[in-house]
Structures are given as structure tokens and as C-alpha cells.
Amino acid sequence: MLNTDLIRKDFPILERVTASGARVTYLDSTATSQKPLAVIEAMSDFYRRSNANIHRGVHTLAEESTALYENAREKIAEFIHAPSARQIIYTRNTTESINLVAYSWARANLKAGDLVILTEMEHHSNLVPWHMLAAERGIELDFIPVTADGLLDLDAYRSLLARDPKLVSFTHMSNVLGTVNPAAEIIRLARDVGAVTLVDAAQSVPHLAVDVQSLDADFLAFSAHKMCGPTGIGALYGKAALLESMPPFLGGGDMIKEVKLRSFRPNTLPHKFEAGTPAIAEAVGFGAAVDYLTKIGMDKIAAHEHEITEYALERLEEIPGVKVFGPSADKKGGVAAFTLEGVHPHDVAQILDQDGIAVRAGHHCAQPLHEKFGIPATSRASFYLYNTKEEVDLLVNGIYKVKKMFS
Ligand code: 7TS
């Protein structure tokens, strides 16, 4: 396991005491992770020392700022083993990355009747952009079903593939069930029938070593804020030939090579997709987050989370009335979404909060998945590199307290 005594010192917020006098037990990293000093200071240093707009000045600050912005892109590319930094497009988040594919690639390539395959465990950000395209274009959507134990039904997927899909877009790791899907196999099968693939890696890139080349993904989307970086920035990775062939998404400054009164020529990659002044300090923070995670080691982080998750599932399942959703610890990442018989998930979260324990309650932007399991909501604890088994114990004691209050 990781040395959490040392790691926790990197995260000042973990010392935070709430109004009730309890120290924060942060079990909501699936929603957003906490930020280490290395990231906070990189962003603060940027504003103190180097702030200027990028790509448009020759003065010292502009050159420094541009170099920092582009250098972070190199780090991000290396982190997911992209062949080149020009295949990393900065976006605002995973949601915008998926929308970029839906607006640019899909609107240029899909027509009425074309099939897009999604799964029943998608986050709304990999559902709604496709609903919108279905309404506009008449594309068809179908879904890989989720089994009772929270896995994708790959036999059903094989049947769907016989219907000549144009795109398969799926989550690498579920933000509710924690299921880590067999992405390489899903992509290989899609490729066999000529479909393009989009991986929602919002939950996988922060927690597992992800290699876009060994996955052979066409597109892969993720957010900095879930991987120790700041909010307001994310990335879309794409295969170079696809990105080259796509029309721009947003138009404006920086994404052009030349503009005339009645026409324009788009810039080269990656700038073609980055219109307007981007989130520069956030890109610097994103790069610092990647450095931080790399220094600790993604394999070590995954192993640490695995051990915490195994322990958490074991302890949660001991509690009478608790039902945890999703597969066993060996098939999932650090997420435990659960219900407690007779108590609304929001009440569970609210009572836990009195002891400083932060879990999320609701449908976690995966309403169809909750519907599938016949429940409106769950409470969800999620784990990252700074969490400990002691915090799992605090959660379990807190749930016993909830039970007592409601009995
Ligand atoms: N995809 C998955 C699998 C996610 O878990 C999330 C965010 C997103 C996409 C969207 O990411 P964003 O950065 O664009 O917002 N998931 C959650 C969550 O589980 N609780 O809050 C946000």
C-alpha cells in the first residue's frame, strides 16, 4: 500500500475541519479529486511569474506562458502514451470532449439510420450528446446491456455488432458500479466491423495506467479535475488521421491559419480545435497533476485503491441492510455505491456529513443505470490514493449510526 501519512501531507484540504468540528473524511473523489500542493503551487506560480496570453506575443511572459501550456500537453500525451502531443486537444472536461466528437466527427460522418452503440452504464455526458444527435439526424442508438452483477453483456454486444454500427462509445470505468470494462476487447471487436470507438476515460485515466496505443482507441476523453488537477480543463485524445479529417468544433481566435472577410482556413492540430483564449493556468495545473501521479506511479495507485476497495466491500457487506452495487473488487475500481434498507440515500449522506464524512448521494448522472437496478438513487463512497482503511472504518461506523437513528 502507499504511504498515506506522506501522501496526505500533500493535500492541505484533508486537514480541514467542518463546522461540526469533525475532520473531513473525503470519500467523493469520483465526483472530483482533491488537489496536491504541487498543483496548487504550479498554478499560483504561473499567475505570480508567467501569466500572459499564449501563441500571440513575442515578449518574455507570452513565450513563457506558451511554453508552459504546450509543455503540459507533452506531459499529458506521454501519460496516456499518445504518439504525439498534437493528438491531445484541450477541452473543458470529459463532457466537452465527447461533445466535440459528437459535433465535429459525428455530424460530418453519420446520417439517418446509422447505428451508434452505447452501454446501459453510461454517464449522462455519454448519453445526452447522442440523444441530441438522434433527434437532429435520426441516427439510431442501441445499448450493451448491464448484467445483474454489473458487467457488460459481451454476447449481446457481439449481436449488436452484426448490425453494422458506425460508432461504439463506452465508459472505461463506471462511476457508479466501479466496473472496469474490457476496453481493448470492446475496441477490437468494434474495429473488426469497421466502427469508430470513443472511450469515456473520465474514471479510468485518474486511477489506472491507460495506454491509448495498446487500447487502439480512436478517441479517448478525460478530465483533469478527477486526477488531482484543476477544474475547467480536460482532454480529447484522437487518432491523427481522424482529427485531421474533422471540421473545427468552435470557431474564433487561435483555431485559424488565415481569415478573410468571407472565409477562413483552419489551423493545424491541435490548435484547430482550441478556439479562443484557453484555460492556461489550468493547463499548467493539469501538467503538474500528471507529474505528481507519475512520480507516485499509476500501478501503485491502482494497487492501493484495490486494497482499500476490497476492504470496503468486505466491511460494507457485513452491515445488515446494506447492498453494494457492481461486481467484486477484482473487476472494479475504487467505487462503492450502496443502499441502506429503509433509509433514503440522501439521508445517509447527510447524517454521515455530520461526522465530516463526504459521500455523494443521488443518481450520479447515471439515471438509466439506476432505473435498470430499480432504484432512484444510491449513496456512493469512492477512494483515491490519499484514502485509508481507517477512513473506511469511519464510514462503516457512520452507517451504523444512521441505522440506529432510523431504527
Ligand atoms: N464520464 C464519467 C464516467 C464520469 O464519471 C463523469 C463525471 C463524466 C463523464 C463527466 O465528467 P466531467 O468532468 O465532464 O463532469 N462523474 C461524476 C460523478 O460521478 N459525480 O460527479 C461527477
274: CB partners within 8 A, 6+ apart: 89, 90, 254, 255
For residues 392-401, average pLDDT: 98
Share of the chain above pLDDT 70, in %: 100
Ligand 1 centroid vs 202 CA: distance in angstroms?
6
Residue 375: the pLDDT is: 95
Average pLDDT on 294-322 reads 98
Share of the chain above pLDDT 90, in %: 98
Structure-model confidence comparison of residues 45 and 19, the more confident one: 45
Mutate to test the pocket of ligand 1, among 208, 223, 325, 378 (most ligand atoms within 8 A of CB): 223
pLDDT at 247: 97
Which residues line the pocket of ligand 1, CB cutoff 6 A?
30-31, 93-95, 123, 125, 171, 175, 200, 202-203, 223, 360, 364-365
For the segment 146-190, what is each residue's pLDDT rounded down to a tens digit?
999 999 999 999 999 999 999 999 999 999 999 999 999 999 999
228 catalytic, yes or no?
no
In this predicted structure, what is the pLDDT of residue 57? 78
Mean of the pLDDT values across residues 368-390? 97
For ligand 1, atom 16, name the residue with the nearest CA.
31
Among protein residues, the one with the nearest Cα to ligand 1's atom 17 is: 31
C-alpha 136 – ligand 1 centre gap (Å): 25
- Taking only the tens place, the pLDDT of each residue in 74-95 is 999 999 999 999 999 999 999 9
- Identify the structural domains of the chain with CATH numbers, from first to last: 4-29+298-406 (3.90.1150.10), 41-295 (3.40.640.10)
For the whole model, what pTM was predicted?
Answer: 0.98
Structure confidence by residue, pLDDT tens digits, 330-359:
999 999 999 999 999 999 999 999 999 999
Q: What is the mean pLDDT of residues 285-307?
A: 98
Q: What tens digit of pLDDT does each residue of 212-257 get?
A: 999 999 999 999 999 999 999 999 999 999 999 999 999 999 999 9
In angstroms, the CA 237 to CA 232 distance is 17
Determine the pLDDT at residue 146.
Answer: 98
Rounded distance, CA 21 to CA 18, Å? 5
pLDDT at 339: 98
Predicted pLDDT at 221 = 99
Mean pLDDT of 115-125: 98
Residue having the nearest C-alpha atom to atom 21 of ligand 1: 31
Query: Residues 40-78: pLDDT tens digits?
Result: 999 999 999 999 999 877 999 999 999 999 999 999 999
Catalytic residue among 264, 365, 375, 401: 365
The predicted pLDDT at position 56 comes to 78
Q: CA–CA separation, 144 vs 181, rounded Å?
A: 12
Predicted pLDDT of residue 51? 97
For residue 55, what pLDDT is reported?
A: 86
Asked if residues 139 and 130 have their Cβ atoms less than 8 Å apart, the reply is yes
pLDDT of residue 267: 96
Q: What is the mean pLDDT of the chain?
A: 97
pLDDT value of residue 28: 98
